[in-house]
């Protein structure tokens, strides 16, 4: 089969990322060569794809669902907010511009052919491309310059599946209103609906399904149930939820408090910890939580200096400093590592120049305009294992005093030191470190020893668990959607017999 489809949502976090991934996994299991695509992504969770290019984390997750390596064509434009009303624009995996919202709109004409070329490239190499929209396609104030929703659907002649989240309520109004708000030429690409996160009696929902199809002239492809304990890499902090532990094994409990930064990035670094039995991971801005937790994690941030100031404004700097002084474990990752240091010199992101850090780790971090983008490997004597991860940063942490007592956390395969261990505080620039099972268990054992707790980690395989979760997505598609209708839609493309839904008519329904 050959074709492409666009998955749009009535709003952010409606479930389009998971439906896209589920479609990719379902098609892969049918033997179809399939790839994901998102023209424009706004997210602070990203990864380094092959070749040293930065793309959104969601597209890497969807590539894993498709059984292929992530590549830059899957996400040609990535927007990373780096402060109030300011963002870094990544184009084809590399920094392209620093813009405000109005300035970015002026860039779209030059970005449009880049998007088209990336999608065409994937379509020539894969049988099916499953595209994901962004936000809502009915953001009428943005429609004229749209790159990723109906603008893409019309430019690439894509049928659109519209996903609505019933768990938030108002799903029928959201589906109907989204279609009605579109101009007729856009409406003709909306081929049908999927309702997501349903829990309850299906017989009660059934009349609504019939009515929405009658009102819009479009089929309901199916209703996905609310999937308990489904843990898939999230695109942004809207998707942060309470963690779960459903794997047997291990003894004891550990409490992990993650400092919830305003511009927190790559918080998926904590997913592997959250899946450990007996480990409770929660995001917080409470000084009391920082004081009482067994391990505190300061995660990555796209705005290190601004988040450092917010820590000071909220008194969290004192809580972290007190914790370090009493010898209780702290882990800093990337931007979190940088702000734990003594000094930051940033003329790139915040343009604040020299700024004092929290003074917990003996490092200084100058920022450079060139961005480090790399997949990395090494060995950690502290964690007693081979380790790996990826780097996405402008900061270049280095020892303030090479003769200090601090030790590197890792020795890279090229022999260079990475990270820092000073007392009970450790830091690293590497994302993805905790996805390595032995390194994660060593961190948990060390934390338990520092806190005097009888905790023994389980022996879960993080990557096998991630595959199991992706298979669950494929199962949801196969078990609950009209897969025959979906295959026909992908192969035949945009239906030719869909009615226009006029706003005047919608108001009388």
Residue numbers annotated as active site: 334, 431
Determine the 3-state secondary structure of 258 from DSSP.
Answer: strand
Size of the chain in residues: 509
Going from the C-alpha of 238 to that of each of 15, 43, 152, the distances in angstroms are 11, 11, 25
268: left (phi over 0), alpha (psi -120 to 50) or beta: alpha
Q: Whole-angstrom Cα distance, residue 357 to residue 348?
A: 17
Cβ contact 22:65 at 8 Å = yes
Cβ contact 509:176 at 8 Å = yes
Sign of CA dihedral 459, 461, 465, 466: positive
Say if strands 220-225 and 160-165 run parallel, antiparallel, or are unpaired: unpaired
Q: Whole-angstrom Cα distance, residue 182 to residue 482?
A: 25
Say if strands 417-418 and 410-412 run parallel, antiparallel, or are unpaired: antiparallel
Please give the full DSSP string across 120-141, using - where no structure is assigned.
HHHHHH-SEEEEE--S-TT-TT
The DSSP call for residue 199 is -
The DSSP call for residue 331 is E
Burial 283-305 (b: 16+ CB within 10 A, else e): bebbbebbeebbbbbbbbbbbbb
From the number of C-beta atoms within 10 Å of its C-beta (0-12, 13-18, 19+), residue 484 rates as exposed
Compute the CA torsion angle 418, 423, 427, 428 (nearest 10 deg). Answer: 20
């Amino acid at each position: 089969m050959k074709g492409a489809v666009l998955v749009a949502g009535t709003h952010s976090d409606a479930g389009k990322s998971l439906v896209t991934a589920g479609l990719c996994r379902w098609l892969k299991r049918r033997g179809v060569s399939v790839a994901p695509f998102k023209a424009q992504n706004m997210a602070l969770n990203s990864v380094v794809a092959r070749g040293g290019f930065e793309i959104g984390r969601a597209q890497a997750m969807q590539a894993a669902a498709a059984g292929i390596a992530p590549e830059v064509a899957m996400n040609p434009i990535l927007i990373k907010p780096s402060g109030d009303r300011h963002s870094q624009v990544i184009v084809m995996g590399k920094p392209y511009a620093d813009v405000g919202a109005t300035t970015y709109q002026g860039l779209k004409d030059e970005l449009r052919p880049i998007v088209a070329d990336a999608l065409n490239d994937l379509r020539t190499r894969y049988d099916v491309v499953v595209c994901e929209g962004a936000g809502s396609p009915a953001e009428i104030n943005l429609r004229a310059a749209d790159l990723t929703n109906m603008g893409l659907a019309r430019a690439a002649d894509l049928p659109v599946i519209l996903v609505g989240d019933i768990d938030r309520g108002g799903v029928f109004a959201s589906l109907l209103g989204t279609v009605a708000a579109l101009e007729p030429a856009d409406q003709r690409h909306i081929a049908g609906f999927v309702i997501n996160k349903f829990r309850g009696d299906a017989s009660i929902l059934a009349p609504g399904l019939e009515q929405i199809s009658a009102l819009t002239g479009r089929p309901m492809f199916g209703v996905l149930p609310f999937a308990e304990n489904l843990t898939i890499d999230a695109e942004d902090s809207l998707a942060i939820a309470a963690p779960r532990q459903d794997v047997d094994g291990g003894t004891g409990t550990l409490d992990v408090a993650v400092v919830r930064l305003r511009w927190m990035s790559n918080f998926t670094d904590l997913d592997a910890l959250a899946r450990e039995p007996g480990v409770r991971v929660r995001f917080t801005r409470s000084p009391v939580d920082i004081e009482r937790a067994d391990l505190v994690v300061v995660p990555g941030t796209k705005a290190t200096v601004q988040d450092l100031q917010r820590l000071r404004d909220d008194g969290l700097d004192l809580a972290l400093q007190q914790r370090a002084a009493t010898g209780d474990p702290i882990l800093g990752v990337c931007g979190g590592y940088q702000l734990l240091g003594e000094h930051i010199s940033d003329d790139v992101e915040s343009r604040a120049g020299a700024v004092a850090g929290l003074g917990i780790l003996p490092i200084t971090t100058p920022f450079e305009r060139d961005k480090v983008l790399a997949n990395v490997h090494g060995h950690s004597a502290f964690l007693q294992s081979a380790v790996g991860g990826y780097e996405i940063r402008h900061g270049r942490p280095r020892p303030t005093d090479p003769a200090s007592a601090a030790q590197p956390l890792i020795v890279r395969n090229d022999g260079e030191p990475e990270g820092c261990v000073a007392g009970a505080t450790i830091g690293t620039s590497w994302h993805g470190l905790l996805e390595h099972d032995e390194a994660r268990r060593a961190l948990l054992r060390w934390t338990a020893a520092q806190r005097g707790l009888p905790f023994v980690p389980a022996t879960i395989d993080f990557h096998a668990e991630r595959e199991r979760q992706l298979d669950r997505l494929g199962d949801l598609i196969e078990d609950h959607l009209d897969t025959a209708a979906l295959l026909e839609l992908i192969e035949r493309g945009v239906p030719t017999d869909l009615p226009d839904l006029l706003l005047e008519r919608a108001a009388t329904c």
